[in-house]
Chains A and B, each alone.
Chain A
Amino acid sequence: AQSVTQLGSHVSVSEGALVLLRCNYSSSVPPYLFWYVQYPNQGLQLLLKYTSAATLVKGINGFEAEFKKSETSFHLTKPSAHMSDAAEYFCAVIVTGTASKLTFGTGTRLQVTL
């Protein structure tokens, strides 16, 4: 069965610093991978997706992620953190050919400090 593992339940960065949120996946077939963001008391917003086209994927709000098959990773990065980036981030996987059931990681809470 496919799964994702997010390393680090909490990440704290200074405003203007690099943001790196880690996600590793496990899947026996090519997966589709997603990053979602959740602000307090809100639903999930899609940041970006990997669907087997370009391995470097650009999303909204300056975020990007790189699919690395050799490392089974799909880490999320942003060159310069902003206070408004403070939120919970979830990595998720869908196995291609299935009925599009999303399997989520446990989430990483990003804190941005002055």
Chain B
Amino acid sequence: DAGVTQSPTHLIKTRGQQVTLRCSPKSGHDTVSWYQQALGQGPQFIFQYYEEEERQRGNFPDRFSGHQFPNYSSELNVNALLLGDSALYLCASSLAGHYEQYFGPGTRLTVT
């Protein structure tokens, strides 16, 4: 049973560029949440997708956007990258109506 997978593992981008991160949920899960974890901090909620719609959003600017596909996989897009966007981006999947979230290994984004 495959767990949550994320790609790529690492990414280096230049300030001002755009980036797309990808996530495949655990088998049987239909809800995907994205979190940003800055160095030395706890993860911060970005947004959650269910039935291909953004269901809830954290305190992040519109530069952060997402998408969920019919197969429940998801993408996180960040435009106009800032140095402060450097972080570990974590994807978590869950089943609607259940509170347990299972995390992927993350994508380490470095903005130079």
Using a CB–CB cutoff of 8 Å, the interface residues on chain A facing chain B are 32, 34, 36, 41-46, 49, 51, 90, 92, 94, 96, 98-107
Contacts and interface: CB of A to CB of B under 8 A. Distances in A.
Nearest to B41: A106
Contacts of B78: none
B45 A101 contact: yes
A90 B35 CA distance: 14
Given A90-B42, A105-B42, A107-B41, A43 B56 contact: no
Given A101-B33, A101-B48, A101-B56, A106 B42 contact: yes
Interface of B: 4, 31, 33, 35, 40-45, 48, 50, 55-56, 58, 90, 92, 94, 98-106, 108
Contact of A102 (B45, B104, B108): B45
Contact of B101 (A51, A96, A100, A107): A100
A37 to B, nearest CB: 11
A86 B101 CA distance: 23
Given A100-B48, A103-B45, A107-B41, A46 B56 contact: no
B102 to A, nearest CB: 7
Given A32-B99, A100-B99, A44 B33 contact: no
Given A41-B108, A102-B33, 13 more contacts: A43-B104, A43-B106, A44-B103, A46-B102, A49-B99, A90-B42, A92-B42, A100-B33, A100-B48, A101-B58, A102-B101, A104-B42, A107-B41
B58 A100 contact: no
